[in-house]
Amino acid sequence: MATKKTSKGETGDSEPVIIKKYANRRLYNTETSSYVTLDHLAAMVKDGRDFVVKDAKSGEDLTHSVLTQIIFEQENKGQTLLPIPFLRQLISFYDDGLQSMVPSYLQSAMQAFTSNQEKLREYFQSSFAPTQAFTAFDEMLKQNMALFERTMTMFSPTATGRGDKPSGTAESGASGEASDEIAALKEQLSAMQEKLDKLSKG
């Protein structure tokens, strides 16, 4: 059964499409009974279609590695979304004590960005002033990226020295500064949301 599309990036309660991956790296869509490519899967993602990739022999879940491969292929086509500083920061988190915090933060950041993007798209489609819509989108994009980079820098393993844990008042001070930064980031997100709400209401 096909997954019901609700909005971009979101799906309904239907079961995800099962994609089988064979030893020869071929991908088989069990819904359409046909072989597909990474480009087909990328199109499914853009259409809000949910799928799970499994090893045809062992049944192992290969969804994560295949999605990562899709990103790699898209980046190699010249439409880069991941700037080099971000990639370096992301790599630095592997095998670090804060590694477990990164996935949930990235997911929350992307959900916030998607929500803002949908509102701006709706505003643009109903607006008679496309220049204003583009300006608002550009401002939102810059603020989102600045917010993301600030947070990544705050949690960076090299911020206080990898593996070096501050002690005494230094530790308390670092903790307090982190809390202040997080509070400031939340306030910025809230302010951005208010601006977008006003824009969407015209």
Give me the chain's average pLDDT, please. 74
Q: Are 20 and 57 spatial neighbours (Cβ–Cβ below 8 Å)?
A: no
d(CA 144, CA 110): 10
Q: What percent of the chain has pLDDT over 70?
A: 52
Which helix or strand (DSSP H or E) is residue 74 part of? helix 63-76
d(CA 147, CA 195): 16
Rounded to 10 degrees, the C-alpha dihedral 7/13/14/19 comes to 70
The domain ranges of the chain are 5-76, 84-201
pLDDT in tens, 78-95: 778 888 988 998 888 888
pLDDT in tens, 125-157: 665 555 665 666 666 666 666 666 666 666 555
Question: Does residue 195 or residue 157 have the better pLDDT?
Answer: 195
d(CA 90, CA 84): 10
pTM: 0.56
Question: Does residue 82 or residue 163 have the better pLDDT?
Answer: 82
What is the pLDDT at residue 120?
Answer: 67
d(CA 69, CA 50): 17
Give every CB contact of residue 15 below 8 A, 6+ residues apart in sequence.
1, 3
Q: Are 41 and 51 spatial neighbours (Cβ–Cβ below 8 Å)?
A: yes
